[in-house]
Amino acid sequence: MAAVRELQKDLEAKANDLSKIQKDISKNHQVRKKYTIQLGENELVLKELDLLNDDANVYKLIGPVLVKQDLAEANANVRKRIEYISAELKRLDSTLQDLEEKQNSKKEAIFKLQQRIQSLQAGKDKA
């Protein structure tokens, strides 16, 4: 009886862990979505900046004011931003993979625990 209770406690803890991991995964998905959108936008900006003439005036909105920027500087900034976002996306991918692995292992562990509890209960019923 005590053993079964112990196992059930263990199972509960594992289930909690699993739900936590799943939450992390969904969060990861959301962040990734955001970053992908940003990446798309930045690529669009870069394309437009490339199409601009060298003497075009480019401004950056910082807070409530438009700050004049050099075209080359803006270009470099956008490039850097794209690089950063790409790196971030990669990082998110790897963490996602990690989380999924963890999730699978947790699922397996929970399944095994459930089986053990079942077998224990079946044995008790017989006895």
Partner 1 sequence: MGEPVKGTVTSLSSIFAPEDAQKASVHVQEVISERQKEVQQLQAFLNDNTSLVNLVKKLPDQLHHDITVPFGKAAFFPGKLIHTNEFMVLLGEGYYAERTSKQTIEILKRRGQGLESQIESLNAVIKDLKFEASFFDETATEAAEGIVEIREDYVEEAFDEDKATTSGEDDFARILSRIDELEKEELESELAEEGEEKEEADIEPEFRNLEIKESLDIPVSKDSHIKVPTPNGSNTPVRPVDHNKSKESLPRAPMSRDEVEVSTLASSSSNVSSKTRVAASSSSNASSKTSVAASGSSNASSKTSIAASMSKEVSNFGSRSSNDKAFTGSIVEHTHNIESSQKGQTSAPAPTPASKPVSRFKLQRK
Binding site for partner 1 (CB under 8 A): 38, 41-42, 44-45, 47-49, 51-52, 56-62, 66, 69, 74, 78, 81
Nearer to partner 1, 7 or 45 (CB): 45
- Of 43, 31, 105, the C-alpha closest to 78 is 43
CB contact set of 117 (below 8 Å; sequence gap of 6+): 4, 7, 8, 11
Smallest separation, CB 110 to partner 1 (Å)? 25
Instruction: For partner 1, give the closer residue by CB, 10 or 35.
Output: 35
25 closest CA partner among 97, 111, 107: 97
Judged by beta carbon, residue 73 or residue 101, the one nearer partner 1 is: 73
CB 85 to partner 1: min, Å: 11
Least Å from the CB of residue 122 to partner 1? 28
- Non-local CB neighbours of 111 within 8 Å, separated by 6+ positions: none
Helix residue ranges per DSSP H, the chain: 2-51, 71-126
How far apart CA 8 and CA 121 sit, in angstroms, is 12
CB of 62 to partner 1, least distance (A): 7
Which tokens sit at 78?
């956008």
Nearer to partner 1, 77 or 95 (CB): 77
